[in-house]
Amino acid sequence: MYARRVRLLMLLQFSAFIAFSLIDEGQAQKPGASYEPVIPKTWDDKALADLEVPLADPSHSPMHISTDDYYRIPVRPIYKSYPKYHPDKEPPSYREWLKRQDPVVLWDDGARRPRLVTEEDWIKAGAIVFNAPVLFGIQTSGPEEIRAFIAKTGDLYDKDGVSPFATYVIRERGKLEIGEVSCAECHSRVMPDGTVIAGAQGNRPIEQVAYLGLADDADFSPTGSMTCDRGRSSIPV
């Protein structure tokens, strides 16, 4: 499980680079003006071939999937997320309320997607991708168990008691899931005053969360892993 999470986190670092490259910061723009960013190709055979230095024995160098195979992977939908609170800050009956909510897809490969007209629209869309989890576990822990999890791992929350690293997600009505492994998990930094810097070097104690306490906070499948959505990003490329 730990090795899988590490691989997923490494993949997300690459995905974060792709998400941030959507915005061409070199173009000045008037507020509200139409914006047409230069969007690089996400998966390119030639670029991948030049990305890594071959090993001393080339036969052991990694082989990536082809561009055609990559673009045949189904697009992963992004569902609406909700704040995951520290148990001492969670509003009364909050999780019960969440279970009554219907699933909301923010972005998929069809008609459901955010407005993409102005530069501000694209920045907001990038934030959706940045905060979108790809690993999901069923929430079963009560407040005391979560407090013990925080004490054991040193997990961090912002000044309002909200986790910048994990969210609640409703993908099925009545089923409350914890969403993990987003770009934000490795690239959000909680400052001493409780403010959060998005896109910074993260400071969540991921090793402790993954290895020491994650099993206490989620219901695992028989294989010992949380449910992972296997799909490529819904960034339109």
59 Cα distance to chain centroid: 34
Per the structure, the count of domains in the chain is 1
| pLDDT of residue 182 exceeding 90 | yes
Helix, strand or coil, per DSSP, at residue 184: helix
- Per-residue pLDDT band for 21 (boundaries 50, 70, 90) equals very low
Residue 237 lies in a domain: no
Query: Is residue 234 a part of any domain in this protein?
Result: no
Confidence class for position 1, pLDDT limits 50, 70, 90: very low
In a domain, 84, yes or no: yes
Q: Is residue 54 part of a domain?
A: no
Residue 162 lies in a domain: yes
Distance of alpha carbon 134 from alpha carbon 132, whole angstroms: 7
> Domain residues for 100?
2-40+73-228
Is 68 contained in some domain? no
Report the C-alpha gap between 229 and 209 in whole angstroms. 20
Is 55 part of a structural domain of the chain? Answer: no
pTM strictly above 0.85? no
* Token representation of residue 180: 């993990």
Residue 48 lies in a domain: no
Phi, psi of 47 (to 5 degrees): -65, -40
Taking only the tens place, the pLDDT of each residue in 54-96 is 888 888 888 889 999 999 999 999 999 999 999 999 999 999 9
